[in-house]
Amino acid sequence: MSQAPTFGAMSQTTLQLLAPGQALYVPVYQRTYTWGAEQVERLFEDIHAGIEAAIEGTGPPTFLGSTILFEGRGSVAPMVNSALPGQVLHVVDGQQRLTTLLLILGQLLFRVDAAIEIVSELEPSDERDWIHANLKMLASQLRACLWVQLPSGDGIFVHLPRLIRQATDVWGDREANAKYESDIAFYLHDVARRVFDGQSARSIARRPHLRLIIESIEEHLEGVENGTEEDSSLKSLEFALDLSALRRLLPSVPADKSIAFADSRPQLLAATRVAILSQFVLSQVIMIDVRAPDEATAFSLFEPLNTTGLPLTPLETLQPLVVSSEGGLDSYLGSPSDVALQRVNRYIPDELEATERSRRVSALLTSFALGQDGTKLLHNMPDQRRYLRSEYENAGDLEAKRVFVEGIADTASFLSDVWENADSPLVTTGSRADRLRLEVLRSSKHVIVVPLLVRYFERAEQLDSEESRVDFRQVVRAATAFWTIWRSSRATTSGIDAVHRSLIKSGLDATSLPSLARSATASLDLPSADEIKAALRSVLDSRLTVNDGDSWASLVNSQPIYETARVLARYILLCAHDDAVPDPSEPGHPIRGTTGSWPTLSLEVWRANYTVEHIAPQRRRSTDLSYASELYDEGDINRLGNLTLLPADLNALLGNGPWQFKRDVFEMVSLTDQDERVAALRRGNLYELGAQSKSLLASSDFVPFCKFIAEHQAETFDRSYVRERGVRLANLAWQRLWEDLH
């Protein structure tokens, strides 16, 4: 009888998991790296929670789950024998976390190296010497985590990226045999070039996903270093006066002398924050390293470790407390609390698949907590359990506890009946555009707005009046316009969550808006929709200096909006073209026509299979001179002025075609007379098309978005037109957005 294969599992810090000589290899069948800014934010939330627990001496290290690995040097392919790491661990589970962790370590190394230079130039002191020693040690540890060192090789190629992907990457000891094409391998190799050879950073303009992740990481690191990160316990370093707290975060601490941070220079404070964060990520971020003997065993472990042993949700652990507060099961049945929790169960039924169930519970509770008292609840179940239990028990008498549970139920009802249901009567009884606005919020995953909308949903449900329903729809309009203006003005979502949390928790002094939290303001006492609009306009003016079309047009046209906010780019194009007609004085541009000329702001148009099309293609043919090369120098390709809306099938047909061909297609699909369409197919650039393509064009719907572009008759599609078009579209869109904020 053969012996069953065994496996080992142990907790590993980042330093231990990324031990010298131990490289990570992602097999070709694994999906690509897909984590986004949301997952990065959650990871930093967990790190900050761990740092706070370490300061207080109350909690374990930050746990990032498990990895499933198996060793296999022989199955690396392609393989360069002279550049093969001593140990190669194939990653079956944990790729997303490991990749993100390495990206964070790389950015931390830059900050640690920069801090070393800055601190070295400061006047010597005990504090300076102490932090300088810590930084030097951390720089060495970070380098050891990012690369596996070869004993020999050609210059920079002795530093092998710690993680690569099969097929796209090859570990090599010289430029001729190394290949680092995946985002993570490219990044690690580039960091090595910069750190060890002093070379400048290579452009990641053509790696939009990598760029957005790095920008997200950098936002958090900059906030920590400057002491402005919202959830960081490192804003103030007063805890460091207690050497026992400091020793839980840094290994090298003076034996008997506290660090006088209150009097320290800003450079030392910033360097200390960077050092503490780096040390915590290296030594107190933990993963369970599940080590399988072979690939078959690794896969046999993968499914049960990810689908079984699911703990009770925070809501399920709250219910016994609710039953007890109601006086036992007999009293609970049929009580207001029972009715409320039944509403919750309709949003989270027992038959839901585990992953979807977990997602809904987390979405519900994070939105509820923010709307309840302004709490930013983490997306992990222990914190959610603690919050629900504590807040429920401290709510007060039975009636107050019932109101608490009712708030959870109202949030659940909103999510199921309105947020995820475009046909809710609360929305459909408004204008055609109201359903669209709610869909824009949902499609762009702007969930931070949910608590605000829930509050006005609650009031509409309680009053059951037309005035309260109109107020709800007005708040939806204002929230959508505010989100669109804010997000399209910036490269990231940074700051928007803080705005909403502040409005809920504290209101806005500048406009005398009171707190919107459920615990502070009853539903019937909520401010009017006009007061919400005034507050949002004030925030745009004070935070972005945006209060007219020109100021916003300048900001939105400086962004590669196709990359940073694709859903909102689509919405902005609809706003710009609503009731638009050709400008007779400037062919190629639209102006606003009379009401009803061409209504585009409806869910029906949104769902009409329109996709965002680049007029000048993202990647032009090298021989195609019909698009000015200057368009590709400064990112104009992904800016508003180069975008339009087309049905998906036409988008695919146009592809990377030259400007003259695209212009002929735009002109044809904007024709309304069928005979004119047929005639257009018999001339010019459309004559050579195949029968299937001609049939597609002949039967295509009227696409008026294209009409204005087709009237631009220049032989070369250039930057001046793109930029002028972007300004014109932004100003037209602004008119519609600003209306919704008044």
36 or 84, greater pLDDT: 84
What pLDDT sits at residue 308?
36
Helix (H) or strand (E) holding 678: helix 674-680
Please report whether residue 3 resides in a domain. Answer: no
Contacts of 176 by beta carbon, 8 Å cutoff, 6+ apart: none
* Cα 545 versus chain centre, distance: 24
458 and 559 inside one domain: no
What pLDDT sits at residue 93?
86
What pLDDT sits at residue 495?
87
Name the least confident of 166-175, 625-634, 716-725: 625-634
485 and 565 inside one domain: no
Kindly report the CA angle at 709 between 708 and 711, in degrees rounded to 5?
70
pLDDT class of 310 with cuts at 50, 70, 90: very low
Could you identify the residue written with the tokens 């002028």?
724
Helix (H) or strand (E) holding 577: helix 566-577
pLDDT class of 615 with cuts at 50, 70, 90: very high
For residue 567, give the nearest of 442, 481, 706 by alpha carbon. Answer: 442
Average pLDDT, the chain: 89
**Single residue among 304, 328, 347 that ends a domain in this structure:** 304
281 and 322 inside one domain: no
322 and 344 inside one domain: yes
Question: Which H, E and C letters describe 33-65, residue by residue?
Answer: CCCCHHHHHHHHHHHHHHHHHHHHCCCCCEEEE
What pLDDT sits at residue 255?
59
What separation in angstroms does the CA of 474 have from each of 266, 336, 393? 46, 30, 36
Number of domains making up the chain: 3
In this prediction, residues 667-695 reach a mean pLDDT of: 83
The answer on pLDDT for 135 being more than 90 is yes
Burial class (CB in 10 A: 0-12, 13-18, 19+), 384: buried
A 10 A CB-CB count for 53 gives 17
What pLDDT sits at residue 647?
85
What pLDDT sits at residue 257?
57
For residue 508, give the nearest of 547, 534, 470 by alpha carbon. Answer: 534
Q: What is the pLDDT of residues 49-96, one digit of tens each?
A: 898 888 888 767 888 888 989 999 988 988 999 999 999 999 988 999
Q: How would you classify the pairing of strands 22-26 and 580-582?
A: unpaired
The answer on pLDDT for 669 being more than 60 is yes
The answer on pLDDT for 182 being more than 90 is yes
pLDDT class of 306 with cuts at 50, 70, 90: very low
339 and 268 inside one domain: no
A 10 A CB-CB count for 693 gives 14
The answer on pLDDT for 263 being more than 60 is no
Angle between helices 37-56 and 266-283 (to 10 degrees): 100
In this prediction, residues 608-632 reach a mean pLDDT of: 88
As beta bridge partners, residue 508 has 513
In this prediction, residues 653-659 reach a mean pLDDT of: 87
Please report whether residue 580 resides in a domain. Answer: yes
504 and 626 inside one domain: no
pLDDT class of 180 with cuts at 50, 70, 90: very high
Please report whether residue 561 resides in a domain. Answer: yes
Would you put residue 250 in left (φ > 0), alpha (ψ -120 to 50) or beta?
beta
Q: What is the pLDDT of residues 391-429, one digit of tens each?
A: 999 999 999 999 999 999 999 999 999 998 878 899 989
Name the least confident of 41-45, 167-171, 247-251, 545-549: 247-251
The answer on pLDDT for 158 being more than 90 is yes
What pLDDT sits at residue 312?
62
DSSP type of residue 263:
G
544 and 564 inside one domain: no
Helix (H) or strand (E) holding 9: strand 8-13
Please report whether residue 461 resides in a domain. Answer: yes
What pLDDT sits at residue 302?
62
**By residue range, what is the domain housing residue 656?**
551-739
672 and 693 inside one domain: yes
Name the least confident of 349-363, 443-457, 709-723: 349-363
Peptide bond into 658 cis (omega under 30): no
In contact, 123 and 259? CB cutoff 8 Å: no
Please report whether residue 577 resides in a domain. Answer: yes
Torsion of CA 213, 219, 224, 225, to 10 degrees: 110
691 or 363, greater pLDDT: 363
Q: Is the pTM of this model over 0.85?
A: no
The answer on pLDDT for 648 being more than 90 is no
Please report whether residue 319 resides in a domain. Answer: yes
E runs forming strands in 484-579: none
pLDDT class of 309 with cuts at 50, 70, 90: very low
Tell me how far apart the 2 most distant CA atoms of the chain are, in Å.
92
In this prediction, residues 151-169 reach a mean pLDDT of: 94
The answer on pLDDT for 649 being more than 50 is yes
Q: How far apart are CA 495 and CA 216, in angstroms?
A: 12
Q: What is the pLDDT of residues 101-124, one digit of tens each?
A: 999 999 999 999 999 999 999 888
What pLDDT sits at residue 52?
87
The answer on pLDDT for 701 being more than 90 is no
For residue 367, give the nearest of 431, 457, 298 by alpha carbon. Answer: 457
The answer on pLDDT for 488 being more than 90 is yes
Please report whether residue 59 resides in a domain. Answer: yes
519 and 558 inside one domain: no
Long-range contacts of 372-376 (CB under 8 A, 24+ apart): 372/404, 372/407, 372/517, 372/518, 372/519, 373/505, 373/517, 373/518, 373/519, 373/520, 374/501, 374/504, 374/505, 374/506, 374/515, 374/517, 376/230, 376/231, 376/497, 376/501
59 and 117 inside one domain: yes
**Single residue among 548, 578, 593 that ends a domain in this structure:** 548
Helix, strand, or coil here: 611?
A: strand
33 and 136 inside one domain: yes
The answer on pLDDT for 1 being more than 50 is no
**Single residue among 304, 339, 373 that ends a domain in this structure:** 304
pLDDT class of 307 with cuts at 50, 70, 90: very low
349 and 387 inside one domain: yes
Kindly report the CA angle at 678 between 674 and 681, in degrees rounded to 5?
140
What pLDDT sits at residue 140?
96
Name the least confident of 97-111, 556-570, 688-702: 688-702
Please report whether residue 325 resides in a domain. Answer: yes
